[in-house]
Homo-oligomer: A and B are copies of this chain.
Amino acid sequence: MAGSVILIIALSLFGLAVAFFYMKKVTSIPIDLGLNPEESGKLKAIHGAIAEGAMAFLKQEYKVLLWFVLGFAVVIGLLTDNAETQGTNEGWYTAFAFIYGAAISILSGYIGMKVATAGNARTTVSARNGLADAFGVAINSGAVMGFALVSLATLGMISIYLVMKHLLVDVPNNVLMEVIAGFGLGGSTIALFARVGGGIFTKAADVGADLVGKVEKGIPEDDPRNPAVIADNVGDNVGDVAGMGADLFGSCAESTCAALVISAVAFASDVNAMVYPIMITAVGIVVSLVTKIVSQMLVTVSAEDKVGKALKMLLGVSTALMVVAIYFVTTMMIPATFEINGVAYTNMGVYWCFLAGLLAGLAVGFLTEYYTSTEYAPVREIAKSCETGAATNIIFGLALGYKSTVLPYIAIAIAIFTSWHLAGMYGIAIASIGMLGTLVIALMIDAYGPVADNAGGIAEMAGLDKEVRRRTDILDAAGNTTAAIGKGFAIGAAILTSLALFSAFITSAQSLMRALPKYGADYNLVNHITLLDPVVYTALFIGAVLPFLFSAMTMKSVGSAAFDMIEEVRRQFRTIPGLMEGTGRPDYATCVAISTKAALREMIAPGVLIIGTPLLAGFLFGVQAVAGILAGSLVAGGVLAISSSNSGGAWDNAKKYIEKGNHGGKGSECHKAAVVGDTVGDPLKDTSGPSLNILIKLSAILSLVFAPFFVNFGGQLL
C-alpha cells in the first residue's frame, strides 16, 4: 500500500477520534447543569421532545430512503455495465459503491443530528455561566459534525478505491473510477432527499408556528403553548444540520470523484498523484484541528462583539493554513510536469487551481455577506423600501437577488477560466475541491448555528432567565452572518463540481463510444456537443427550465405543507381546553408527525424530476441531449440558486434591521411590509435555493454513472 494511502487512512481515523473527543466534551456537561428541579424537569422534557422529534423524522425518512436506495441500486446494477463496449460487467460494483456512499451519507447526517440535539440544551445551561461557555459548547457540537463527516467521507472514498481496485483488477483505470463515482451518486441522492425533505419540514413548521401563534394568537416566538414550537425547533436540526451536512458531504464526494475520474487518465500508474484529491480533504482535518486550537488561543469570547470575530478567525486561520499546507502536498504528490490527453501541465498549475477555487469561494462567500447583511447598503435599501409597502419591498428584494448573481458568477467564471487554462478539466475538479478546502470549519460553523438557535428556543420554553436568551441570541446572530458565507461556498462548490463532473461524463462517454463500431476509434464526441447542434441546443432549452420547474415544485410544497400545519395548530387551539391559558398541554408530537408526513410526501415529485429527466432524455435522444441538459440546468440553476438565497437572506435581515428600531421599528406599517418579504423569502432561501445546489450536482453525477447506459441504449428517437 502506498504511503499516501496509509496517510489518508490514518488522518481519517484521527479525525474520527477528534470528533469522538469533542462529542465526549459536549455530553460530559450535565444537561441540567445548575438548574433547580422545576427548571430541570421542564428543560429535560423540551430537550427530549426535540431530540425525539428529530430522530422520529430521520427514522421515517431513512425508511423511505432505504427502499429507494435499494431499488435504485438495482437499476444501476442492471443499466450501467459496460458489457457491450469494454467487455466488463461492473454495473453491480457501481451499485455497491452507490449503496456504500448512501450509507455513509446517512451515517454522517445521523451523527450530526445526534450531537446537535445533545448540544442545544447544554448550550442553554452553559449560557447561564456566560457567553464563552455557551459558545464553547455550541462550537464543539459543530466540530463533532465537521470532523466526523469529513473523516467519514475520506475514509469512505479511500476504502471504496482500495476495495474496487482489489476486486476489479483487469479493468481499465477509467472504468474503475466510474464505479467509484457510484459512491458520489449515493451521497448525492441522500442529499437530495435530505435537503428537499428537510427544507420542507423546517419551513412548514416555521410558517405554521408563526402564522397561527404569533399572528393569529399574538403569543411570542418559541412560546411553549404553541403546538408547532417543537416541530419548529426540530426543523432547524432537520434542515440546517442533516440537510446541509448531506449536501456538503455530496459536494465533497462528487468533486473528489470527478477529480479521480479525470486523474485516472493522467496518473494511471502513480497512486500518489491519483489519490491527491482525497489527500487535500484529509489534510484539511489536521489543519482544522490546529485552526480550532489556535483560534481559541487568539480570540476569547469575552464580549458580544467577539463572537463574530471568533467565527471569522476560524475561517481566516484555516484558509491561511490550507494555502501553505496544500503547497507542500501538491509539490510532493503531483509530478512536476504531466500530460492529460496530450496537453502538458505542471504541479504548480494544479496548486494555482486549488488556490483559484479557494479564493473564488471566499469571494462568493463575502459577496453573499455583502448582499444579505444588515451592515451594508443593499439590505438597508430593502429596509427603506418597506416604507412604501410590501410590494416595493418584494420588487426591490427580487431585484437585489437578480443583481447579486453578477459578481459571484464573475468570480466563478474567473476561477473556471484560469483553472481550465492551467490544468484543463482536472484543474476545474481541483478548484472545486479547493472551494471546499475549509470544509471541516465550514461544517462546524454551519452546525453551530442551529445549535445556538435551538438553545435560545429551549431557554424561552423552559422559562429560564432573560439573560440566557439574550446570550444565545448573540451566538445565533453571529452564526447567521457566517452561515451566509457558508451558503456562498456551497453554491460555488456545486457549480464547479458540476462542471468537473460534466467533463468527466464527456470523457467517459467518449471512451465508451470509441469502443463501439458505429462510432469508431476516432470518434470525437466534443465536436458533437457544439452550440450549433440541434439536439444540444434543444436540450439546452430543456435543461434551463428544469431549475425553474424544480423551484416551483418545492416552493409550492412548502405552501401546502404549511397549510396542513396551520390547520392542525388552529385545531389544537380550538379543541384543547386551557391551551391559551397555559393549563392545557399542547400535542407537540402530532405537529412533528404532520411536518414529517408532508416533507416525505412532497419530496418525491421533485426527486423524480431531477433523477428522471436526464435518464429519459438520454434514453430518447442520447449523450448529446444529456450534455445539453446538464449545461442548461447548470447555467440557469446557478443563477436561480444564488438569486433565491440572496433575496431570501436580504428580506430576512431587512426585517431584523427594522426590528432593531429603524424605519419605525417593530409593529409599524413598515415592519408589516418587511414581514411579508421575510415570509416570501423563507422557502426561497431555505428550501428551493439550497435544493438547487443538489439539482445541479446530482444530474451531473447521475449522467456520469449512467454514461454506459446512454452510450449503449440511448438515442432511441434519433
Q: Mark A460-504, 1 if CB is under 8 A from B, else 0.
A: 000000000000000000000000000000000000000100110
In whole angstroms, what is the CA distance A422 to B635 when docked? Answer: 29
Q: What is the CA–CA distance of A676 and B97 in the complex, to the nearest angstrom?
A: 51
Q: Are B389 and A635 in contact (CB under 8 A)?
A: no
Q: How many copies does the complex hold?
A: 2
Choose one: B390, B502, B537, B541; the contact of A676 (CB below 8 Å).
Answer: B390
Within the assembled complex, what's the spacing in Å between the Cα atoms of A239 and B627? Answer: 40
Whether, in the assembled complex, A268 has its beta carbon less than 8 Å from a beta carbon of chain B, the answer is no
Which residues of the other chain, B, contact A534 by a CB distance below 8 angstroms? 416-417, 420-421
CB under 8 Å from chain B, chain A span 511-528: 526-527
Name which of A120-128, A166-174, A394-402 contacts chain B. Answer: A394-402
Q: Are A551 and B399 in contact (CB under 8 A)?
A: yes
Whether the Cβ atoms of A409 and B541 lie closer than 8 Å is yes
Q: Is A391 in contact with chain B by the CB < 8 A criterion? A: yes
Asked if A536 and B531 sit within 8 Å, CB to CB, the answer is: yes
A409 cross-chain contacts in B, Cβ below 8 A: 541-542, 544-545
A364 within 8 A of partner (CB) = no
Q: Is the CB of A392 within 8 A of B559?
A: yes
CB distance from A395 to the nearest CB of B (A): 6
Complex formed: what's the CA distance from A636 to B633 in Å?
Answer: 10
A679 contacts the other chain (CB 8 A): yes
Question: Are A399 and B537 in contact (CB-based, < 8 A)?
Answer: no
Decide: B555 and A406 in contact? CB cutoff 8 A.
Answer: no
Q: Inside 8 A of A15's CB, which chain B residues have their CB?
A: none
A549 touches B403 (CB 8 A): yes
For chain A, give the interface size range: 35 or more
Select A541's contact among B412, B532, B552, beta carbons within 8 Å. B412
Complex-state Cα separation, A399 to B558, whole angstroms: 11
The 8 Å CB contact of A529, one of B412, B421, B530, is B530
Nearest-neighbor residue (CB-CB) of A414 within chain B: B538
Contacts A529-B531, A635-B540: A548 and B412 contacting too (C-beta < 8 A)? no
Interface of A is mostly: helix
Q: Which residues of B contact A368 (CB under 8 A)?
A: none
Q: Which residue of B lies closest to A215 (CB)?
A: B389
| Interface membership of A683, Cβ < 8 A | yes
Which residues of chain A (653-694) have a CB below 8 Å from chain B?
A: 675-677, 679-680, 683
Contacts of A91 in B (CB 8 A): none
Contact present for B548 and A416 (CB under 8 Å): no
Residues of B within 8 A of A536 (CB): 531
Q: How far is the CB of A137 from chain B (nearest CB, A)?
A: 35
A638 lies within 8 A of chain B by Cβ? yes
Residues of B within 8 Å of A412, CB to CB, are 541
Interface residues in A573-589 (C-beta closer than 8 Å to B): none
- One digit per residue, 1 when the CB lies within 8 angstroms of any chain B CB and 0 when it does not, for chain A 393-433 equals 01110111011011001101100110011000100000000
- Least CB distance from A537 to B in Å reads 7
Closest 10 CB pairs of A and B: A391-B679, A420-B534, A402-B552, A403-B552, A402-B548, A399-B552, A399-B555, A544-B635, A529-B531, A417-B538
Tell me if A449 is interfacial: C-beta within 8 Å of chain B. no
A79 at the interface (CB under 8 A from B): no
User: Which residue of the partner chain, among B402, B413, B538, B676, contacts A391 with CB atoms under 8 Å?
Assistant: B676
Partner of A643 from the list B403, B548, B627 (CB cut-off 8 Å) is B548
Assess whether A632 is interfacial by the CB under 8 Å rule.
Answer: yes
- The residue among A503, A553, A628, A679 with the most chain B CB atoms within 10 A of its own CB is A679
Give the distance in Å from the alpha carbon of A543 to the alpha carbon of B406 in the complex.
10
A631 sits at the interface (CB 8 A): yes
In the bound complex, do residue B556 and residue A680 qualify as a contact, i.e. CB atoms below 8 Å apart? no
Whether, in the assembled complex, A295 has its beta carbon less than 8 Å from a beta carbon of chain B, the answer is: no
Choose among B388, B499, B548 the residue that contacts A405 (Cβ–Cβ < 8 A): B548
Question: Is A535 on the interface with B (CB-CB < 8 A)?
Answer: yes
Given A532-B503, A541-B635, A635-B544, the answer on whether A395 and B680 have CB atoms closer than 8 Å is yes
